[in-house]
């Protein structure tokens, strides 16, 4: 799987973009006075599926944001996948954020877990354990364990992940996508130092979430 170049409009969105454009054109041809809402819908779909290239910091201790959005949690918790104490940092994505997900570190995917679940508001803490989710256990080249979890949201109904155990990921590499509102949780060693605070807006690949000790 290549990092860049890739389409500035995510491939996952092409059917939705094509459908919304077709409907807008059809309504315009039949009833132009009623077409404005359909063109607004088309523009919304286009902006939702945008997927711009981003700069990727290369500090070897840096943990990069896997998603665009807002920081909603920074806390010491129990990692439910690796059964360890961990620093959890959560990024909430609303419908206006880019929804492409990218690897926070260089490393090997050791295992992948998928859990079906509910679709409560992804901004709520219980979404991490109750919603549909897909988790990757990544081990960095220095041996640090990172768990990166895609969590479906209130209107999200599809988590896409393109890697399995054994895959090699580079920091900033695109590995998945979540449609229509969601969050990503990152579990790090407890001695990792956060570089963000609650409420900060972050950008996938280009924002440093934390540093390894």
Place of tokens 């990727």: 56
Q: Among 35-39, 118-122, 163-167, 176-180, which is the least confidently predicted range? A: 118-122
Cβ atoms of residues 150 and 137 within 8 Å: no
Long-range contacts of residues 113-120, Cβ cutoff 8 Å, at least 24 apart: 113/81, 113/137, 114/159, 114/161, 117/152, 119/152, 119/153, 119/154, 119/155, 119/156, 119/157, 120/154
CA distance 126 to 137: 21
Q: Is the pLDDT of residue 40 over 80?
A: yes
Which one is catalytic: 100, 182, 205, 206?
A: 182
Q: Outline where DSSP puts E strands in the chain.
A: 62-64, 69-79, 84-93, 100-102, 107-115, 133-140, 145-152, 159-161, 168-169, 174-178, 182-188, 193-194, 201-202, 208-211
Q: Is the pLDDT of residue 210 over 80?
A: yes
The better pLDDT of the pair 178, 170 is held by: 170
What's this model's pTM, rounded to 2 decimal places? 0.84
Across the chain, mean pLDDT equals: 89
pLDDT of res. 181: 64
Is 182 a catalytic site residue?
yes
pLDDT of res. 2: 42
Q: Is the pLDDT of residue 201 over 50?
A: yes
Count Cα atoms within 13 angstroms, Cβ side, for 57: 19
Q: pLDDT class for 1, splitting at 50, 70, 90?
A: very low
């Amino acid at each position: 799987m290549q990092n860049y170049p890739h389409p500035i409009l995510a491939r996952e969105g092409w059917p939705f973009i094509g459908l919304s454009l077709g409907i807008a054109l059809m309504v315009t041809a039949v009833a132009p006075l009623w077409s404005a809402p359909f063109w607004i819908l088309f523009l919304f779909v286009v902006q939702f599926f945008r997927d711009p290239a981003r700069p990727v910091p290369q500090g070897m201790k840096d943990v990069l944001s896997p998603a665009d959005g807002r920081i909603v949690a920074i806390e010491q918790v129990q990692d439910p996948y690796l059964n360890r104490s961990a620093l959890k940092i959560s990024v909430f994505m609303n419908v206006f954020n880019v929804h492409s997900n990218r690897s926070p570190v260089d490393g090997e995917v050791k295992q992948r877990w998928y859990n079906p679940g509910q679709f409560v508001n992804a901004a709520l803490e219980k979404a991490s354990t109750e919603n549909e989710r897909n988790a990757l256990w990544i081990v960095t080249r220095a041996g640090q364990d990172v768990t990166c979890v895609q969590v479906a949201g209130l209107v999200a109904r599809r988590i896409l992940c393109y890697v399995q155990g054994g895959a090699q990921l580079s920091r900033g590499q695109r590995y998945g996508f979540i449609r229509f509102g969601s969050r990503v949780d990152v579990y790090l060693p407890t001695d990792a130092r956060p570089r963000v605070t609650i409420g900060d807006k972050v950008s996938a690949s280009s924002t440093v979430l934390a540093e390894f000790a």
